[in-house]
């Protein structure tokens, strides 16, 4: 998606070869027009696949997942990183390790919001090693739902996440694929 690539070039900050800051338009301050276009792109790619719900991991994936769900006319599920004090019954949980933050967290989903009848599209902001997406897939499968695919805004194509998910048979659709990053340097794979 050229619009996203241009915005990353203009406002993204490559801190080093692993960290890309997009907090001015994706995950701290959100550009709603860009998010609408992102939602439209994901909705177009995944249309006619029998998707019943869109899911994301809190919190950076919420804006693009919500816009995707809105474009598709579907509910959105937020997979929680912190177990709620009031949501403690009928939960599915799995542990996920964040590559970027170097920490682990318990990903949680209430059984009230997903069932074996659901075909779920996962949306996330980044794909690097694929740990977050794999955790989301594991969690949704615990509810016996099926996975329609994984849409990501920014893929670090130089890391193994894409291949890891594709080798398991998932449709992975990145909107911007970064081939190389270094301090103040970002290069994209062209489609």
pLDDT in tens, 101-110: 678 888 899 8
Answer whether residue 9 shows pLDDT above 70: yes
The answer to whether 52 touches 74, Cβ cutoff 8 Å, is yes
Kindly report the backbone phi and psi dihedral angles of residue 60, in degrees, each rounded to the nearest multiple of 5, phi listed first. -70, -20
Give domain status of residue 74, yes or no: yes
Give domain status of residue 187, yes or no: no
Q: Is 136 annotated as a binding residue?
A: no
Q: Is 131 annotated as a binding residue?
A: yes
Give domain status of residue 19, yes or no: no
Domain that holds residue 73: 32-176
Answer whether residue 117 shows pLDDT above 70: yes
**Domain containing residue 104: CATH number:** 3.40.50.2020
The token pair that represents 81 in the structure block: 């990183």
Kindly report the backbone phi and psi dihedral angles of residue 155, in degrees, each rounded to the nearest multiple of 5, phi listed first. -110, 130
Instruction: Answer whether the bond into residue 59 is a cis peptide, omega within 30°.
Output: yes
Q: Is 16 annotated as a binding residue?
A: no
Give domain status of residue 117, yes or no: yes
Please give the span between the terminal C-alpha atoms of the chain, in angstroms, as a whole number: 9
What distance in Å separates the CA atoms of residue 26 and residue 60, rounded to the nearest whole number? 7
Q: Is 107 annotated as a binding residue?
A: no
């Amino acid at each position: 998606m050229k619009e996203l690539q241009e915005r990353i070039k203009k406002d993204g900050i490559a801190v080093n070869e692993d960290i890309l800051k997009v907090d001015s338009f994706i995950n701290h301050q959100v550009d709603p027009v860009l998010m609408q276009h992102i939602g439209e792109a994901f909705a177009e790619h995944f249309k006619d696949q029998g998707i019943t719900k869109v899911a994301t991991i809190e919190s950076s994936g919420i804006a693009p997942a919500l816009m995707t769900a809105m474009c598709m006319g579907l509910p959105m599920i937020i997979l929680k990183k912190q177990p709620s004090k009031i949501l403690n019954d009928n939960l599915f949980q799995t542990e996920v390790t964040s590559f970027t933050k170097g920490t682990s967290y318990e990903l949680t989903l209430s059984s009230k919001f997903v069932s074996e009848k659901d075909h779920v599209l996962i949306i996330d902001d980044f794909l690097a090693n694929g740990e977050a997406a794999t955790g989301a897939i594991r969690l949704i499968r615990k509810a016996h739902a099926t996975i329609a695919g994984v849409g990501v805004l920014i893929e670090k194509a130089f890391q193994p996440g894409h291949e890891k998910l594709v080798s398991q048979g998932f449709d992975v659709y990145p909107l911007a694929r970064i081939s190389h990053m270094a301090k103040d340097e970002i290069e994209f794979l062209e489609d």
